[in-house]
Structure 1
Amino acid sequence: MKRFLTIFFIMSILMTSFAVPAFANEEETTISKQEQQKMVNVAHRGASAHAPENTMAAFHKGVEMKSDYIEIDVQMTADEELVIIHDTTVNRTTNGTGAVGDLTLEEIRALDAGSWFSEEFAGEKIPTFEEVLDAFRGKVGILIELKSPELYPSMVEKVADALKERNMAHTNNEKIIIQSFNHESMELSKELLPEIPHGVLAGLTWAGVTDEQLEAFATYADYFNPNQNIVTPELVDRVHAVGMEIMPYTSRSQEQANRLFDLGVDGIITDYPEHVYHHPVKNN
């Protein structure tokens, strides 16, 4: 009998010692998932570390990697068609040369926008804005950046029309955000699309943004999305204080993503969507 009780006692101790770490790991996993769900994961120009930026391949990769949003750059051709490309020229990301606004849609579509990144993507085309909307509506959020709208006087209206035609201009959509470095264009866009969230992009020169400026932005913008290098805990608090959210750009390393995560931002615009999901969550 003594032997039985001794064995029972030892087994109880062993079971208890193994149970505690198992519970701790389960708790850590649960906290990690909850924290990750709060962080909006934006695939910058699509998952642009894995496929050529602003192509359908990059956008599909962003969806595959379970990003919350794909970020796209909108510009306009000589024949006033909306296309997705970052630079104001085609030189860097295609086999062509010249300004986007000087080329027709037919000329733009004839270019190879994938070979510069990898031969695996040879033949990728510059997509149109409508093509992206039709392919990804309902599948992923779309963060639309109006690129250099000062070069394209009718671009704001054309973007608004394309969204309205697809019934994508309402609050119940909740999957469209429009942003730009050109803040005046955001004021106009908000007038045309009052139910869609808008954001102001802010470069390094906005490091000293004042409370008054943030309050002015908040009259038409829902997001203040700055260069990650000017983000501080104080800035995050001040943006939140005027009722806006903050999604900095562009995270390109795990360390950068971790820093932004710990600063308490609302989303991270990143070339590497996997970095947001791999953030090591601290247990308090």
Structure 2
Amino acid sequence: MKRKTIFNYSLVVVAFFAACHISRKNVPPIAPQPETFDTEGHRGARGLAPENTWPAFRTALDLGVTTLEMDAVITADKKVVLSHEPFFNHEISTHPDGKPVTEAEEKQLNIFKMPYAEVARFDVGMRPHPRFPQQAKMKATKPLLADIIDSVRQYMMVSRRPFPYYNIETKTQPSTDNIYHPEPAEFVELLMNVIKEKQIEEQVIIQSFDFRTLQYLHKHYPAIKTAMLIEDNDPRDLTAQLKALGFTPYIYSPAYKRVTKELVEECHALQMRIVPWTVNTREEISQLKALGVSGIISDYPDLF
């Protein structure tokens, strides 16, 4: 029994080092093709585990998603961190001393003004989430994008499952340039540095509501797939939105209530995939699939 345990442990160690040193030539990423339906775990699996943390991404992978959806922000020491807000949201955050972050102070806890070592001291997994009662509670911190890529690679190699796509949102807007984040060019370059270092260019989609980041990518990194995020209250139609962007992205990603059969047909006519967000019931997922969408982003990847 002891000899068998040692042998099994050795296999895991070998797999780990193979995962860390594997080259793209030996094991190419297996990602959804244009004709394949794309299942995306929103912030990993926000309905089931703390958002944008390794437990959420691991949960989504275990449920078989093809894409991990996540949000990126930048620290004072220029690290790319996964977080929906560029500050510590009071709904999920706890100070290093164990005190809950309050709504009044959350925006003062500006990640762009904090080195990552300080960011990593805050917990974002122990507080019960008021809107996601099924979310498991556990200690968790905001991770570096680079560390999540390494963890995903190791996990999928050891479990011998295909690598996912990464759908990464740039959390920028013109009104908060140089306050909560760098300007688009610097933000994109910092993000692309990680993507290139980890050699996942073919597995990445960059999404944003801020068209400036997508335009910069289109000009400087045309091979990187882009997704145009659209709010539910955007008054423009598809034609006007594309005109404002200036090019046709790989994915059109609207709030799901905007989706109609006509919109789906318009996107497909432009050779553009349509992946609505955030769909959290089986009934709505079925309805959207019947309309012909290319994929769906959900807080509950167990519904796919």
Q: Shift of the alpha carbon at 1:206?
A: 2.9
Which residue of structure 1 lines up, in the alignment, with residue 152 of structure 2? 136
In structure 2, do the counterparts of structure 1 residues 206 and 241 end up closer, same or farther at CA, with 3 Å as the change threshold?
farther
* TM-score with structure 2 setting the length: 0.72
* Farther-moved stretch of structure 1 (56-65 vs 119-128): 119-128
In structure 2, do the counterparts of structure 1 residues 223 and 212 end up closer, same or farther at CA, with 3 Å as the change threshold?
same
Cα separation, 1, equivalents of 2:166 and 2:246: 21
Contact 1:218 1:244 in 2 (8 A): no
In structure 2, do the counterparts of structure 1 residues 273 and 195 end up closer, same or farther at CA, with 3 Å as the change threshold?
same
The partner residue of 1:155 within 179, 187, 202 is 187
Q: Shift of the alpha carbon at 1:258?
A: 1.6
Count of aligned positions: 236
Which residue of structure 2 lines up, in the alignment, with residue 189 of structure 1? 217
Contact 2:40 2:297 in 1 (8 A): yes
What is the RMSD of the two structures over their aligned residues, measured on CA atoms? 2.1
Contact 1:239 1:245 in 2 (8 A): yes
* Farther-moved stretch of structure 1 (208-217 vs 236-245): 208-217
State whether structure 2 residue 232 is matched by structure 1 residue 200. Answer: no
In structure 2, do the counterparts of structure 1 residues 38 and 102 end up closer, same or farther at CA, with 3 Å as the change threshold?
same
SS in 1 for 2:274: coil
In structure 2, do the counterparts of structure 1 residues 116 and 220 end up closer, same or farther at CA, with 3 Å as the change threshold?
same
% identity of equivalent residues: 28
Contact 1:43 1:70 in 2 (8 A): yes
Pairing 1:200-239 to 2, within 5 Å after superposition: 200-206=228-234, 208-214=236-242, 217=245, 219-239=247-267
SS in 2 for 1:125: coil
Rg (Cα) greater in structure = 1
Which residue of structure 1 lines up, in the alignment, with residue 139 of structure 2? 123
In structure 2, do the counterparts of structure 1 residues 242 and 218 end up closer, same or farther at CA, with 3 Å as the change threshold?
farther
Q: Shift of the alpha carbon at 1:99?
A: 2.0
Q: Structure 2: 5+ residue runs without aligned partners? A: 1-34, 96-105, 130-134, 154-161
Contact 2:215 2:245 in 1 (8 A): no
Residues 74-121 of structure 1 show CA distances to partners (whole Å, capped at 9, x for unaligned) of 001122211001023203321144122222211110011110247964
SS in 2 for 1:38: coil
Q: Shift of the alpha carbon at 1:208?
A: 3.8
Cα separation, 2, equivalents of 1:198 and 1:106: 31
Contact 1:55 1:127 in 2 (8 A): yes
Query: Match for 2:93: what amino acid?
Result: T
Contact 2:50 2:136 in 1 (8 A): no
Which residue of structure 2 lines up, in the alignment, with residue 89 of structure 1? 87
Residues 129-157 of structure 1 show CA distances to partners (whole Å, capped at 9, x for unaligned) of 11112222463211111112643222111
The partner residue of 1:146 within 163, 170, 175 is 170
Query: Match for 2:43: what amino acid?
Result: R
Query: Match for 1:82: what amino acid?
Result: V
In structure 2, do the counterparts of structure 1 residues 61 and 210 end up closer, same or farther at CA, with 3 Å as the change threshold?
closer
Contact 1:42 1:273 in 2 (8 A): yes
Contact 2:146 2:198 in 1 (8 A): no
In structure 2, do the counterparts of structure 1 residues 47 and 260 end up closer, same or farther at CA, with 3 Å as the change threshold?
same
Which residue of structure 2 lines up, in the alignment, with residue 50 of structure 1? 48
SS in 2 for 1:116: coil
Residues 187-214 of structure 1 show CA distances to partners (whole Å, capped at 9, x for unaligned) of 1122332212111100023354142543
Which residue of structure 2 lines up, in the alignment, with residue 177 of structure 1? 205
Which residue of structure 2 lines up, in the alignment, with residue 272 of structure 1? 300
Residues 196-246 of structure 1 show CA distances to partners (whole Å, capped at 9, x for unaligned) of 211110002335414254366472511110000111111111111122110
Cα separation, 2, equivalents of 1:122 and 1:64: 18
SS in 2 for 1:229: helix
In structure 2, do the counterparts of structure 1 residues 133 and 100 end up closer, same or farther at CA, with 3 Å as the change threshold?
same
